[in-house]
Amino acid sequence: MAQQDSDEIDALKIDTTALYREESITDTRSATIKRLTPVDVEGNDDSSRAMLFIGDTTLMTQMGPIPVQFPIEATDLKSAFELFPDGVKEAVQKLQERAQEMAREESQRIVVPGQGGQGGSPMGGGMPGLSR
């Protein structure tokens, strides 16, 4: 395992043509936007590439806090904040769809006694050698 980790670290390559400077801008209550400004390998702004915006918030649920991150298709910070609420809604919808998909997958794995399945007999459980 240690050798595999070492090999993965040795294989790590940094794409110096895709560097960004990250800034976090927040309303200190619920909305944070990460503004990624493209830079060259010297750290100077690279105006040949577009800025990227990432929305970031935490939703409080009955099961605890859920972090939500999502890309925002914007060209400036003002429009990124204007698009933020819709981005949250879309990200939450995708999370709900994924949770439902995972629940469906999990329900297909449940083995119901008396309906056969892997191992066991169609008669159900019980300890071998014990009779009723």
Residue that wins the pLDDT comparison between 66 and 11: 66
Residue spans of the domains in the chain: they are 13-107
Residue that wins the pLDDT comparison between 110 and 127: 110
Question: Cα–Cα distance between 51 and 7 in angstroms, integer?
Answer: 33
Which pLDDT score, from 0 to 100, does residue 43 have? 95
Average pLDDT over residues 12-23: 94
Nearest by Cα to 24 from 55, 2, 46, 69: 55
3-state secondary structure 84-119: HHHHHHHHHHHHHHHHHHHHHHHHCCCCCCCCCCCC
Which pLDDT score, from 0 to 100, does residue 106 have? 85
Tens digit of pLDDT for each residue in 46-71?
999 999 999 999 999 898 999 999 99
Residue pair 53/34 in contact (Cβ under 8 Å)? The answer is yes
What average pLDDT does the structure give for the chain?
86
Q: How confident is the model at residue 132 (pLDDT cuts 50, 70, 90)?
A: very low
Residue that wins the pLDDT comparison between 1 and 91: 91
What residues contact 83, with CB distance under 8 A and at least 6 apart?
72, 73, 74
Average pLDDT over residues 33-46: 97
